[in-house]
């Protein structure tokens, strides 16, 4: 990271201009205005110079009268945003390179600086502690001439040394990974508040398509101290934490075992020279995450278990089911540790490990859940939210979903409703037809065990389910079966008539025809 001779000279000119403006204000006893187009021009001049180095500038003279600490500050441009300690270009946020012209000796201070609020509250990103530990530098105490700071009494005499130090600090701040600038929590009170409200063990349950797995991202980020309205940003942040190992995601299934989850004996095939197979104890995902959390008590760790009810909980967790209770965690009053069967290690669950499960009630009702699991988890119901759906091409998706779910609940139960997520990405009639053709009809077939009379009723006899022609059923065949049996088939979705297709979906929630039939 270098500056040409011209750029160095330009940098010196801009700093001189800044010093001159401060002197002008002081010569008028601080009453000269500290705002205006000239000050903005100075900031723009610095911006043009440091843009290629990846920095942005903030010039501060104060608001109204001259501040005690007029300064030029440089912020690393790629770490400004809501998720970073520098949430915006402000001296009240995060970390930056600070050049200050004070009214006392030494007059000039150039240093890595932290926002003043961190004098009274904890740092909110790893970068601060990394600098303090690696460079033995204290942000609000050290003004010695070391790696992070330079002081001068005479700008003209030390101008070249000051520019060299600027370049050194630009390189220094750029050397850190972006992750180090990401916020953990806004302050210690906020951290305590967030973690005290976050349940250690929770299960999101509800019918298919209600956004349970989708919501685990938001809940995990909340535990970590983040809130993202933009879905793409939230998913990116979630994936970043997964890559770092702070979040783990697994899906339970019927064959999932204790050996995969906690620990087990597995063959070691790394050494094939001897021709013999050796065996070793290998950690499962739960034990591995517990160890990470235990070694990093300052940060929360999160295990997300999708479809938790599909696994055999007694078989997967075994005796460890007790250890996940809040008052049995490591460091709690009633802390419990158990000896693991394979490794013979003493094992406990740390207090900073959070478990989020999801459960599909169409697979198994909450009433049939393992009693031990139900006692140890907080259950959060997630039901269909038709109000989130919009109208497309004259079809009211919210009314359509409400109508189908009312009939399903009456004919079956509320655990087999249809979630709004199936319809969230629908933009046109073609999308809607595809969703019904590939998802909704098959889901209804599963719910009603192919009882097409009930499926037809759920759809308000809208023409999607038709009676099959029975011309090939002879009287002899009918005598062998049920003479009154009606055979149904799924109607074609490819009739090509748009208005006719629209009416099929509108009829699901339009009760005019049904009411007319009842009157007659």
Domains assigned to the chain: 5-181 (3.30.920), 188-381 (3.40.50.300), 386-519 (no CATH)
Please state the rounded mean pLDDT for residues 456-464.
94
Residue 278: helix, strand or coil by DSSP?
A: strand
Q: Return the number of other C-beta atoms located less than 10 Å from residue 191's C-beta.
A: 17
Pairing of strands 95-101, 346-347: unpaired
| Position 298 confidence tier, pLDDT thresholds 50, 70, 90 | confident
Q: Return the number of other C-beta atoms located less than 10 Å from residue 400's C-beta.
A: 24
Q: What is the pTM of this model?
A: 0.61
Range with the lowest mean pLDDT among 23-37, 86-100, 387-401, 430-444? 23-37
Q: What pLDDT is recorded for position 365?
A: 63
Residue matched to tokens 């198994």: 364
pLDDT of 188-204, one tens digit each? 444 444 444 568 999 99
Ramachandran angles phi, psi of 419, nearest 5°: -80, 155
Cα separation, 424 vs 38, in Å, equals 51
Among 508, 422, 432, 494, smallest CA distance to 463 is for 508
What percent of the chain shows pLDDT beyond 70?
A: 83
Q: What pLDDT is recorded for position 227?
A: 67
Q: How far is CA 453 from the centre of its chain?
A: 43
Cβ atoms of residues 247 and 220 within 8 Å: yes
Q: Is 401 exposed, middle or buried (0-12, 13-18, 19+ CB in 10 A)?
A: buried
| Position 281 confidence tier, pLDDT thresholds 50, 70, 90 | very high
Cα separation, 323 vs 331, in Å, equals 12
**Quick one: which H or E segment has residue 16?**
helix 5-27
Q: How far is CA 235 from the centre of its chain?
A: 5
pLDDT of 118-173, one tens digit each? 776 667 788 888 887 766 677 766 555 455 788 888 999 999 999 999 999 999 99
Q: What pLDDT is recorded for position 376?
A: 87
| Position 482 confidence tier, pLDDT thresholds 50, 70, 90 | low
């Amino acid at each position: 990271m270098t500056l040409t001779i011209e750029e160095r000279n330009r940098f010196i000119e801009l700093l001189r201009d800044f010093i001159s403006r401060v002197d002008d204000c002081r010569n008028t006893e601080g009453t000269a205005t500290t705002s205006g187009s000239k000050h903005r021009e100075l900031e723009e001049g610095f911006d043009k110079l440091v843009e290629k180095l990846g920095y942005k500038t903030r010039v501060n003279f104060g608001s109204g009268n001259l501040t005690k600490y007029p300064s030029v500050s440089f912020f690393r441009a790629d770490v400004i945003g809501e998720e970073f300690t520098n949430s915006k270009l402000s001296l009240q946020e995060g970390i930056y390179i600070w050049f200050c012209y004070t009214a006392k000796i030494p007059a000039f201070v150039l240093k890595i600086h932290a926002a003043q609020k961190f004098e009274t509250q904890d740092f909110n990103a790893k970068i601060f502690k990394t600098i303090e530990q690696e460079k033995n530098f204290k942000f609000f105490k050290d003004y010695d001439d070391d790696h992070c700071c330079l002081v001068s009494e005479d700008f003209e005499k030390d101008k070249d040394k000051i520019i060299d130090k600027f370049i050194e600090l630009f390189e220094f701040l750029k050397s850190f990974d972006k992750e180090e600038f990401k916020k953990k929590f806004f302050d210690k009170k906020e951290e305590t508040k967030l973690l005290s409200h976050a349940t250690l063990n929770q299960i999101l349950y509800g019918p298919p398509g209600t956004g349970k797995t989708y919501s685990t991202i938001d809940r995990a980020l909340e535990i970590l101290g983040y809130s993202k309205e933009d879905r793409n940003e939230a998913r990116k942040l979630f994936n970043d934490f997964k890559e770092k190992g702070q979040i783990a995601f697994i899906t339970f299934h019927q064959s999932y075992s204790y050996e995969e989850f906690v620990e087990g004996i597995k063959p070691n095939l790394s050494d094939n020279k001897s021709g013999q197979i050796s065996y070793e104890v290998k950690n499962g995902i739960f034990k591995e995450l517990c160890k990470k959390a235990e070694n990093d008590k300052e940060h929360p760790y999160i295990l997300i278990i999708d479809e938790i009810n599909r696994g055999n909980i007694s078989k997967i967790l075994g005796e460890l089911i007790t250890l996940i209770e809040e008052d049995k965690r490591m460091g709690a009053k009633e802390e419990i540790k158990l000896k693991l069967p394979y490794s013979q290690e003493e094992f406990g669950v740390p207090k900073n490990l959070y478990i989020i499960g999801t459960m599909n009630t169409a697979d198994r009702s909450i009433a049939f859940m393992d009693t031990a699991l139900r006692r140890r988890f907080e259950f959060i119901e997630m039901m269909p939210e038709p109000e989130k759906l919009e109208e497309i091409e004259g079809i009211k998706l919210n009314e359509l979903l409400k109508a189908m779910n009312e009939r399903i609940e009456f004919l079956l139960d509320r655990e087999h409703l249809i979630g709004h997520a199936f319809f969230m990405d629908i933009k046109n009639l073609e999308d809607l037809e595809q969703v019904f053709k590939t998802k909704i009809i098959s889901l209804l077939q599963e719910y009603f065990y192919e009882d097409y009379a009930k499926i037809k009723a759920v759809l308000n006899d809208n023409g999607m389910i038709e009676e099959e022609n029975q011309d090939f059923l002879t009287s002899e065949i009918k005598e062998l079966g049920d003479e009154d049996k009606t055979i149904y088939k799924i109607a074609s979705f490819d009739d090509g008539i748009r208005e006719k297709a629209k009416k099929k979906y509108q009829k699901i929630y339009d009760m005019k025809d049904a009411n007319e039939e009842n009157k007659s």
